[in-house]
Every structure is written in structure tokens, then in C-alpha cells.
Amino acid sequence: MAFTDKVTAKDFPKMDKEYQDLLVRVLTIQADCEIGGPNIYVPQGWTGPRAPTPEDLWKMGKTATEEVDHFRKFNRLLNDLGRDASWVIWRPRNERYVEAFRADMPTWADVAVFGFLMDRVGRYQLEEFIDCSYLPVSEILPDILKEEEGHVNYGTMKLIELCRTPEGREEAQAALNRWYPLALDSFGQSESRRSERYIYWGLKRRTNAQQRQEFMAEVEPLIRKMGLQVPDPLAGRKYL
């Protein structure tokens, strides 16, 4: 029988040690992932030749601000448990939990693909918390999810725009080939005991493999519609 109670910060000290550890772990990873995107594209110079228009520059700044706010919201939940993840803001990029956040974005197409794929991975991660056992997460979730969807839509729109010219499409395909394996790997190992324990404790809804399958079923038709080729889902993968 899975755990079906709802838990608040006040209940936390009474909870099973496994629940405590998994909750702190998942909140810390989420905080790390929220800061992971801006950590790549802000220092790499979104004010340079990267953003093609003032509107794109504004949108990137707004997106970065929203991600920092998502970080703050998750970190506040950790603070309520007597923990703090502020240190992840300044951790070196090559130490990010999810490997995709260690990568570079050499072109504008990478920024678009990042929104299209990685903010969508972010949406999937967040959707795991819908109706989860820890109530304070459910409370912050709707606003964060709405903004995350905005990031996905923006990236998708920018990618569609790029694909209108042959040069743009070539750049987009190259970026897609770089990010597709990273995005699929972000869901983790398909066989994961920890992922089963998260589900048992009501902290996640789907296994890693289920999430990855649903993600692929969602993006593949979109990729084809843009006139791009779906990269081999097994090529360059580290976590199967």
C-alpha cells in the first residue's frame, strides 16, 4: 500500500527518515535545476549577439528572473524544514545534478532548443508534484507551472521561426542533436529503486521510464512538423 497522507512542514520531524531524506533531496535537486538554465545562458552573454531582437533579450531576462524566483520558492520550502540550498546558486556548472545543465549553448538555436526541450523537461519534473504528499509544494506549484509553460512555448516558437530558412534549420538541427540526448538522459535511469520509493511516498507520480516515454511522444511530432529530423533516441545517451 502506497502512502496517501498529506504532510505539512509541522509533520516533517515525525515522518519516516526515508520520507525526510527523499523530500529534502527532491527539493534540493529541483532548486538546483531551476537555477541551472540561467546559470548557462546568462554568463554566456545573452546581451551579446545571442538574442536576435530587443524582445528576445527582454524575454530571456524575464525567463532568467522567473527561474531565480522558482529557485527561491523551492528554497523557502527547504528553509521551513531547517535546510538551505542557497549554495547551489554559486556551485560550479560542472557539478549540477542534471548533466544537461553542465552543457554549453554555442548558438541562438541552442537557446531556442533549450526552451523547447529542457524547460519542457522542467515542466515534466514539476508535474510530478501535482497532488503530491507534501502540501507546501502543491501550494507553490500552479504559478511555477504556468511560467514554465511560457518558457516552453517561447522556445518552441523561436525554433519554428528558425526553421523558416535553410541556414536556420541547419543550426536548429545541430542544436537539437546536441540537446536531445541530454534531455532524454535528464529523466534518469529507467530502472531506479529511488524513483519507486518517491512514488511510494507520494512525492512523484510516474517512473523515469514513463516520463521519458511521454516526453518523446510529445516532442517527436513537433520536431517533424518543424521539418527537423528526430535524433536517434539512443545515440549519445548515458542513462538508459
Residue 119 as a binder of Fe ion (CB under 5 A): the answer is yes
Least distance between Fe ion and beta carbon 8 (Å): 24
- Using Cβ positions, the residue closest to Fe ion within the complex turns out to be 151
Tell me, residue by residue from 157 to 196, as one string, x for binding to Fe ion by CB under 5 A and - for no binding: ----------------------------------------
Cα 21–chain centre separation: 21
Count interface residues toward Fe ion (CB under 5 A). Answer: 7
15 vs 66 by CB, closer to Fe ion: 66
Quote the cell numbers at residue 192: 531506479
- From the list 73, 151, 158, 178, which residue makes contact with Fe ion (rule: CB under 5 A)? 151
C-alpha cell at 145: 507551472
Cα 89 from Cα 140, distance rounded (Å): 20
Question: What proportions of the chain, in percent to the nearest 5, are helix, strand and coil?
Answer: 70, 0, 30
> Looking at beta carbons only, is 123 or 169 nearer to Fe ion?
123
Out of 59, 70, 73, 178, the only residue in the binding site for Fe ion (CB under 5 A) is: 70
Q: First-to-last CA distance in the chain?
A: 28
Residue ranges in 85-207 assigned as alpha helix (H): 108-113, 119-127, 135-162, 166-185, 193-200
> Which residues inside 27-46 make contact with Fe ion, applying CB under 5 A?
34
| CA–CA gap between residue 85 and residue 59 (Å, rounded) | 26
Instruction: Return the number of the residue (146 or 224) whose C-beta is nearest Fe ion.
Output: 146
For Fe ion, which stretch binds (CB under 5 A), given 51-59, 74-82, 119-127, 197-205?
119-127
Q: Which is nearer to Fe ion, 115 or 231 (CB)?
A: 115
Cβ-based nearer residue to Fe ion, 19 or 119: 119
Task: Please give the single-letter amino acid code of residue 95.
Answer: E
DSSP state of 207: -
Piece of 7-15, 89-97, 112-120, 134-142 that binds Fe ion (CB under 5 A): 112-120
Q: Which is nearer to Fe ion, 7 or 211 (CB)?
A: 211
| Residue 120 in contact with Fe ion, rule: CB under 5 A | no
Cα(24)–Cα(84) distance, rounded to whole angstroms?
10
214, 147 in Cβ contact below 8 A? Answer: no
Q: Looking at residue 235, what DSSP letter applies?
A: T
- Nearest to residue 38, comparing CAs of 115, 97, 106, 107? 115
Contact between 96 and Fe ion per CB under 5 A: no
Segment near Fe ion (CB under 5 A); pick from 61-69, 73-81, 105-113, 169-177: 61-69
* Binding-site ranges for Fe ion (CB under 5 A): 34, 67, 70, 119, 122, 148, 151
